[in-house]
Amino acid sequence: MRRTATTLADGRELIYFDEPDASGVYPPDRAAAVDTRTLDPRPLASQLRYDPLLDEWVAIAAHRQTRTFLPATDECPLCPSTPTHASEVPAASYDVAVFENRFPSFSDNPAEADLAVGAQVTPLSPIRPGVGRCEVVCFTPEHTSCFAELSPTRARTVLDALADRTAALSARDDVEQVFCFENRGVEIGVTLHHPHGQIYGYPFVTPRTRAMLASAVRYAAAHGGANLFGDILAAERASGERVVLADDLWTAYVPAAARWPFEVHVVPHRQVPDLAALNDAERAAFAGLYLRLLRAFDALFGAPMPYISAWYQAPTHAGRDLAWLHLQLFSIRRAAGKLKYLAGSESAMGVFINDVRPEEAAKMLREALR
């Protein structure tokens, strides 16, 4: 894989990740293409406000109200640029492209929060700058494609790009956790149809990660230092009832207490903290297994499945001895033509009620494999 970096018209970073052809030759340098647009100045960083009831930070990012929303195909900002349409990717083609989000939830443009030390909404709700990083990952130049239609080679390139960005963002002083994810489908709320994912460099450890690590600490204390993530993986493999796919390096299973109608955790057999720590064999094996899993999701009801694909990685500065990299893939579709909405119990109380037995979901997904 060849990595080349350049900048867009407003100074944001763009990185191309290119594959060689069958004879080992790379395409011409994509970074030679120049962004000819005249762009508005980059938005100021968001504002973080502290919620003392839940011990969580909430990002207030009002500039995102103006972000691009479901544009026409010939106006897509993620397609390669053409003589009649200059996009976020100046090159005429690409394999995988990663660039700073034009409408970021977190950024290193700190002015919104040129906040005085000790700034607060109330004495119980301090404010701080929403510094960090948000990036967009374009999986393919093909506007009407999807991740499930990628080749294993391209899926591996995407994984390598995510690992590259995880390592780079983890080295930043303003990033406490790196989150790589894909939202797919208008039912999920995507604002761009082009196949893409995102990367968030959070300036704090996320609430879900904190909760998982706290559980792991308690479990280790009660079980002689055992790793909770590893023991869950071992238990699911031993049972086998909810395992959907497995090989020598990865297991994909529906968790026993799945919250979503169709939810699969994809876990490496070796404890690693993040994507950057995966070795060559693990990366190669993941690409093929993941593509089969996505195709099974689409085959369940004979239509593209809306889903969220979320990588859980260790924080950059804490819990790395306990955390265990894993992917959570889940859909809000519970049956053909029916969606699972987060209504009163889920949205207000955080108590999930799943309409599909995890064992039945695993069985359906195994039958849909191809």
Contacts of 238 (CB under 8 A, 6+ apart): none
Edge-first strand order for the sheet with 177-184 is: 2-7, 13-18, 96-100, 133-138, 196-202, 177-184, 307-312, 326-331, 262-268, 250-253, 243-246
The enclosing H or E element of 209 equals helix 207-222
**Catalytic positions, written as ranges:** 196
User: Is the alpha carbon torsion for 350, 355, 356, 357 positive or negative?
Assistant: positive
Distances (CA, A) of 212 to 146, 218, 250, 289: 31, 10, 21, 25
Six token digits for residue 342: 């987060």
Phi, psi (rounded to 5 degrees) for 319 = 70, 15
User: Is the alpha carbon torsion for 280, 282, 283, 287 positive or negative?
Assistant: positive
The β-bridge partners of 246 are 251
Distances (CA, A) of 279 to 18, 159, 268, 271, 327: 20, 11, 11, 12, 16
Cα-to-chain-centroid distance, residue 78: 17
Residue among 161, 14, 20 nearest 91 (CA):
14
Distances (CA, A) of 4 to 16, 33, 38, 103, 277: 5, 12, 23, 23, 22
Q: Helix crossing, 228-239 with 207-222: angle to 10°?
A: 80
The enclosing H or E element of 6 equals strand 2-7
Rounded Cα distance between 366 and 279, Å, is: 27
